Structure 1
Amino acid sequence: MRSSQRLLVALACAEDDWPHEGWPAPDDPYVGRVVRVAPPYDTLHEGEPDVVVLRCAEPATSFPGLLAALGGRGVPVIVVSPRTDTETVVGVFRGGAGYLAEGDYCTHMLSSAVMAATVGHTYLSPSACAALREGARRMPAAGDAIERLRALLSPRERQVMELLSTGLGAQEIGLRLRLSEKTVRNNLSNIYAKIDARGSTEAVLRWLGATPAAPVLRT
């Protein structure tokens, strides 16, 4: 992330035009500039964007193509799509991207999602969260394993994880729990260490029982 400037976003539209022509607003606190890139996204290396926003009708095909174009560069991705089925949302989330379902977010939420992505948070709109939870519910029963994992956490850490799994970022979690954003981030760091998660995506998947990986308690 640029330390003294607002963020540069690459807007990748796989099929349709972008619906938010006025975004970002001149006074947007996070996003300063947007550049358009079209499939096959060969120009993504130009300008080194902070975040890529992919708008597409079929993430199952467009998202892997975008990842291939990024070539392993660690640029955060947010997918914007009308699809809200469980398989699509879970597939994108497992790929490490945020997910905003069309009609389920506003441009303020979009800017917040962009900012959150730069600090490692995977942002989900409400219907995307519901799809992720439904995907976890369909997984083979692993109640004992989930309870053992959750027992590793303090009551406050469990509160933080429950809110994180609904798509809230550190700032929003802090407002809900009346904690500073720094305190929430410290809690998240402790949580990741306790359940052996590399970031928010993996932590949420384990919290919901949507990954078979066994937790490891680090001392």
Structure 2
Amino acid sequence: MRSSRRAGTANRSPVLTAPDDASRRLTVALACAEGDWPHRDWPSADDPYVGRALFTPPPHQALRDLAGAADEGAEAAAADVVVLRCEDPADAFPKLLTAMGDMNASVIVISPRRDTDSILEVFRGGAGYLVEGDYCTCMLSAAVTGAVIGHTYLSPAACAALREGAQRMAEPPADALERLRSTLSPRERQIMELLSTGLGAQEIGMRLRLSEKTVRNNLSNIYAKLDARGSTDAVLRWLGAAHDDSLGSTAG
């Protein structure tokens, strides 16, 4: 699958601060038909980060208009994140990337599919993944705000499927994976374990009683030690699923 340039590893500002007014809140492009979107009240009027959602139904040609608006400096019309709601990500995700072209926006996929192969392909493509019925609108807002600062968000069921698939792998050998993990300090291992469950830097800091800045500094060191390009690549390496390794499927 084509790798997304809108991946969670994009170089964005490491800190997301509350905007001063609604015009500075995030704009989300909903890549689905309006009748297929279940959250009519999202984003809420008091959402501090997500300001509005625009529908761009298949074949998502409206995304090009949003990209053009961004190129012309019309920030109010530009989409910061694209949320794709679909039945089959293997078919819909690559089509979305093609429709996006050079559009610089992060992607989150929402789908009922919870098998490892589907989730892994989306994750490797740099997009977040929420399993249908496995998230709430608060989690959706968190996924959107996390995406623009470089975090690839997974819902609990998506995390579980990815980790279960990694445990079924024959390659790399357990000793090779352990050697890779042994390059990290105990604190860095703790951070990677939490990162691989879908938590972001702020949430990890709360769990470990560390500042978000400290967590991000640790993550930078981790990426260097694992020779990872960013959070997505680091998690795949941590789970033993990097590059062309294949995972066994989990039941949907």
Instruction: Give the TM-score of the pair, scaled to structure 2.
Output: 0.80
User: Which whole-Å CA distance do the structure 1 matches of 2:29 and 2:132 have between them?
Assistant: 18
Q: Which residue of 2 aligns with 1:38?
A: 57
> Structure 1 residue runs of 4+, over 6 Å off?
none
Equivalence for 1:146: 177
Letter in 2 for 1:51: V
Work out which structure has the larger RCO, using CA pairs closer than 8 Å and 6 or more positions apart in sequence: 2
Is 1:75 matched up with 2:77? no
Question: Given the alignment of the two structures, is residue 23 of structure 1 paired with residue 42 of structure 2, yes or no?
Answer: yes
What does residue 106 of structure 1 align with?
A: 136
- Alpha carbons 2:34, 2:55 under 8 Å: kept: no
**Which letter does structure 1 place at the counterpart of 2:38?**
P
Residue-by-residue CA offset, 1:73-129 (whole Å, 9 max, x unaligned) = 332100011111111111111111100011111100100000111111110000000
Hey, what's the Cα distance between the residues in 1 that align with 2:33 and 2:161? 23
Out of 198, 205, 218, the position equivalent to 2:229 is 198
* RMSD between aligned residues: 1.8
Contact 1:14–1:56 under 8 Å retained in 2: no
The counterpart of 1:130, out of the listed 156, 160, 163, is: 160
> In the alignment, residue 23 of structure 1 is paired with which amino acid?
W
What is the distance in 1 between the residues matched to 2:56 and 2:203?
31
Alpha-carbon deviation of 1:16? 5.5
**Aligned twin of 1:6:** 25
Tell me if 1:64 matches 2:94.
yes
Q: Structure 2: which amino acid aligns with 1:143? A: A
CA distance in 1, matches of 2:83, 2:128: 9
Cα distance between partner residues in 1 of 2:33 and 2:225: 39
For residue 139 of structure 1, give the secondary structure of its aligned residue in structure 2. coil
What is the number of equivalent residue pairs in this alignment? Answer: 213
- Deviations along 1:128-169, one digit per CA (max 9) or x if unpaired, are 001111221222242122111111111111100000000111
Shift of 1:63: 0.5
Task: Tell me what 2:125 maps to.
Answer: 95
Confirm or deny that 1:155 pairs with 2:174.
no
SS in 2 for 1:156: helix
| CA displacement at 1:12 relative to structure 2 | 0.5
- CA distance change for structure 1 residues 60 and 16 in 2, over 3 Å: closer, same or farther? farther
> Which position in structure 1 is the counterpart of 2:9?
none
Please give the alpha-carbon distance, in whole angstroms, between the structure 1 residues aligned to 2:46 and 2:199. 23
Once the two structures are aligned, what percentage of the paired residues are identical? Answer: 69
Deviation at 1:181, TM superposition (A): 1.1
Q: If the length of structure 1 is used for normalisation, what is the TM-score?
A: 0.92
Name the CA shift for 1:151/1:16 in 2 (closer, same or farther; >3 Å): farther
In the alignment, the residues of structure 1 paired with residue 242 and residue 47 of structure 2 have an alpha-carbon distance, to the nearest angstrom, of 37
Which residue is equivalent to 2:7?
none
